[in-house]
């Protein structure tokens, strides 16, 4: 007769093997990170603007200024005048001010509005460029109801030790929309908004007469 203790051990091993073979594991399952990262994209304009002179000016783009609440990494969705939602699992892949500056630089040059756009991090003297470009972004977010909220103010100033404002404008598109769920669509629409901002700035450079 088999030892009762041995029978108990054998039965216990058999039960454990059955659990393992049945797919039941005592080890924790690996969690998939749901975070997605987005960037602003540049779309070449349909046609360049007319050059304001024999050659377009050189622009010094100053660091893009953002309203403090949109400096956060998560994409923002506004739910009312005083409520915003940070989409923690939908984040910008680069600082938003850097993305806006990158798209503006590419767009202005593609339009023929600038011969060169000196980056915000580059130390430049007043002899290195023709105009300084200041951009302040006051809104850059989606609306819970499907609107896209973007508002920016730009200023073009002359070079020199005593710069003077030569043009300014404000861009606030009203025809941008998304479905309220797909942050990729929202990033694409905000990219369109930055393109509209570049077009407005290009018009200001054209009017500046240099």
Question: What CATH number does residue 184 fall under?
Answer: 3.40.50.10610
| Beta bridge mates, 61 | 133
Q: Is residue 20 part of a domain?
A: no
- End-to-end C-alpha distance for the chain, whole angstroms: 106
Number of domains, the chain: 1
* pLDDT at residue 6, rounded to an integer: 44
The answer to whether 154 touches 172, Cβ cutoff 8 Å, is no
Is 10 buried (19+), middle (13-18) or exposed (0-12) by CB count in 10 A?
exposed
Compute the distance between CA of residue 91 and CA of residue 93 in angstroms, rounded to an integer. 6
Coil, helix or strand at residue 118: strand
Helix (H, G, I), strand (E, B) or coil at 123: coil
Amino acid 19: pLDDT: 47
**3: in domain:** no
Domain presence at residue 15: no
Q: Is residue 107 part of a domain?
A: yes
**Which phi and psi (to 5°) does residue 135 adopt?**
-130, 130
Q: What are the pLDDT tens digits along the chain (210 aa)?
A: 555 554 444 455 455 545 444 555 556 677 888 899 999 999 988 766 655 556 899 999 999 999 999 998 999 999 989 999 999 999 999 999 999 999 999 999 999 999 999 986 666 676 789 999 999 999 999 999 999 999 999 999 998 778 899 999 999 999 999 999 999 999 999 999 999 999 999 999 988 765
Q: What is the pLDDT of residue 29?
A: 73
Q: Which two tokens stand for residue 176?
A: 């941008």
Backbone angles phi, psi at 101, to 5 degrees: -60, -40
pLDDT at 161: 76
Q: What is the pLDDT of residue 120?
A: 66
Q: Which domain holds residue 94?
A: 29-41+49-208
Q: Is residue 21, in this structure, part of any structural domain at all?
A: no
Does residue 101 lie in a domain region?
A: yes
Task: Let me know how long the chain is.
Answer: 210
Residue 199 located in a structural domain: yes
| CB 76, CB 144: distance < 8 Å | no
pTM, two decimals, is: 0.82
User: Does residue 149 form part of some domain?
Assistant: yes
| In the block, residue with structure tokens 């941008």 | 176
């Amino acid at each position: 007769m088999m030892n009762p203790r041995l029978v108990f051990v054998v039965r216990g091993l058999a039960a454990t093997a059955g659990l393992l073979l049945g797919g039941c594991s005592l080890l924790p399952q690996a969690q998939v990170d749901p975070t997605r990262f987005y960037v602003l994209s540049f779309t070449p304009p349909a046609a360049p603007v007319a050059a304001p002179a024999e050659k377009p000016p050189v622009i010094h783009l100053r660091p893009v200024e953002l309203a403090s609440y949109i400096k956060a990494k998560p994409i923002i969705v506004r739910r009312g005048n005083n409520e915003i939602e940070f989409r923690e699992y939908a984040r910008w892949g680069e600082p938003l001010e850097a993305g806006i500056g990158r798209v503006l630089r590419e767009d202005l040059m593609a339009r023929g509005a600038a011969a060169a756009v000196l980056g915000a991090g580059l130390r430049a003297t007043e002899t290195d460029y023709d105009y300084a470009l200041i951009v302040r972004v006051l809104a850059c977010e989606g609306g819970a109801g499907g609107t896209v909220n973007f508002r920016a103010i730009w200023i073009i100033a002359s070079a020199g030790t005593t710069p003077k404002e030569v043009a300014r404008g404000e861009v606030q598109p009203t025809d941008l929309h998304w479905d309220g769920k797909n942050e990729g669509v929202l990033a694409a629409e905000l990219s369109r908004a930055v393109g509209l901002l570049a077009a407005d700035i290009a018009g200001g450079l054209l009017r500046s007469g240099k």
